[in-house]
Amino acid sequence: MVNESLKIQNVVIVGTGLMGSGIAQVAIESGVNVIVVGRTQEKCIATKTKISTGLARSAKRKFADSAENQSQYVEAALSNLKFATELADVNFSESDLVIEAIVENLKVKQKLFSDIEKVVSKKCIFATNTSSFQLKDISSKLSRQDNFAGLHFFNPVPAMKLVELVRGDETSEEVYNALFSFCQRLGKTPVRCKDTPGFIVNRLLIPNLLDAMKMVERGDAEISDIDTATKLGTGYPMGPFELLDYIGLDTMKFIVDGWHQRNPEDDKFAPCEMMDKLVSEGKLGKKTGEGFLKYN
Ligand code: CAA
Ligand code: NAD
């Protein structure tokens, strides 16, 4: 049972990338009021377009035979959505939850949370969507760690049912329960995770994706054969290279480099030259039109 004082209705999402826009979409579809904070007006406009496209897709699925119902559904969801380009423009006194979904960089995330902590009310919960940092590293300088947790959504958020709900050493039971109910309200299945590197999924998935790249670097198999073999041989919906491109190679590189720095002796997390080269060329995967594969 969620304490009424921790019911989550007003949410601020910081980040207009793949994850920020996906989380915003599912939240507004569930009747949650959302303010998305982006760095520029252009990013906010592009995110609104992306969310509108996702909503139209959901609406089509829900109301296949009524264009009118589809447009009502999209309009109703969009009426729950606002944008801001500065934290200072957000009325944080009304926010129940802030979800951080910005670049996978520890210092940038730490700075954001320390800025947010100065402006939110005491009851406001903070959550990070980090893929690879431990909560204790992000929150070490925060004074209210009991209100801090990990909400690790999966990409694409509208389609992926899982949220890893990560409990830090200091996260309060009340906050954890409120977030559990929030995930369920969004139609997601939360799983309980401890504050360990990569939580559950990424601790298993990322070494596997790195192994696939090393297989190509050694000349043991071709990219297209690895993707086909993985899909047909295991039933995965995407092969490792399709998935790497889907996640974003810049995000993957941030994850791998961070783990390598923290575990230099562990070969599992050794950097991959082929991925580093693509990132240096701006080929970041599906989001830029090219990564290991090309998209039109
Ligand atoms: N917006 C709205 N809905 C979407 C969507 C989007 N962007 N993408 C997919 N969907 C919905 C579709 O509407 C559809 O719903 P219904 O079944 O109810 O009709 C469903 O998702 C499947 O979509 P499609 O049939 O169009 O697509 P598909 O069958 O080709 O599947 C996919 C697409 C869901 C992306 C599938 O290929 C897949 O599951 N791929 C693997 C994705 C994955 O592993 N993600 C995890 C990445 S790791 C991560 O996220 C963690 C990290 O920290 C890096
Ligand atoms: P993205 O590249 O699509 O978006 C990154 C966002 O961060 C953009 O809005 C960008 O404007 C913003 N940003 C970049 N530098 C910034 C800075 N210095 N200050 C403030 N904002 C900045 O990335 P994404 O895929 O949405 O990832 C966001 C977070 O979610 C990361 O922590 C990532 O690890 C995590 N995540 C990613 C996936 C995935 O599959 N891509 C899945 C789960 C979690």
Atom of ligand 1 nearest to the CA of 53: 1
Residues of the chain above pLDDT 90, percent: 92
Mean of the per-residue pLDDT values of the chain: 95
Give the pLDDT band (50/70/90) at residue 68: very high
Residue 237 has pLDDT above 60, yes or no: yes
Task: Output the pLDDT for position 5.
Answer: 57
Residue 276 has pLDDT above 80, yes or no: yes
- Out of 29, 164, 242, 290, the active site residue is 164
Please indicate whether residue 204, judged by its CB atom, sits closer than 6 Å to ligand 1: no
Tens-digit pLDDT profile for residues 126-173: 999 999 999 999 999 899 899 999 999 999 999 999 999 999 999 999
Task: Output the pLDDT for position 238.
Answer: 98
| Contact (CB, 8 A) for 55 and 25 | yes
Residues contacting 277, CB < 8 A, separation 6+: none
Task: Output the pLDDT for position 290.
Answer: 98
Q: What is the mean pLDDT of residues 104-112?
A: 97
Q: Which ligand is nearest to the CA of 231?
A: 1
Out of 68-82, 112-126, 175-189, which region has the weakest mean confidence (pLDDT)?
112-126
Please indicate whether residue 247, judged by its CB atom, sits closer than 6 Å to ligand 1: yes
CA dihedral (149, 150, 151, 153) in degrees, to 10, reads 180
Give the pLDDT band (50/70/90) at residue 6: confident
16 token code pair? 């207009």
Tell me, in angstroms, the distance from the centre of ligand 1 to residue 283's CA. 22
**Is 260 known to be catalytic?**
no
Task: Output the pLDDT for position 97.
Answer: 97
Please indicate whether residue 54, judged by its CB atom, sits closer than 6 Å to ligand 1: yes
Residue 205 has pLDDT above 90, yes or no: yes
Beta-bridge mates of residue 97:
11, 125
Give the pLDDT band (50/70/90) at residue 3: low
Task: Assess: ipTM above 0.90.
Answer: yes
Residues contacting 70, CB < 8 A, separation 6+: 56, 59, 60, 62, 63
Q: Does domain 4-194 sit in CATH 3.90.1150.10?
A: no
What's the Rg (C-alpha) of the chain? 19
Q: Could you tell me how far CA 14 lies from the centroid of its own chain?
A: 11
| Contact (CB, 8 A) for 170 and 232 | no
**Rounded (5°) CA angle 61-159-64:** 0
Q: Is the pTM of this model over 0.90?
A: yes
Atom of ligand 2 nearest to the CA of 20: 26
Residue 212 has pLDDT above 70, yes or no: yes
**Is 164 known to be catalytic?**
yes
Instruction: Out of 47, 155, 186, 199, give the residue to mutate to test ligand 1, the one with the largest number of ligand atoms within 8 Å of its CB.
Output: 155
**Is 224 known to be catalytic?**
no
Tell me, in angstroms, the distance from the centre of ligand 1 to residue 160's CA. 6
Domains 4-194 and 203-288 share a fold: no
- Domain definitions of the chain by residue range: 4-194, 203-288
> What is the CATH architecture of 203-288?
Orthogonal Bundle (1.10)
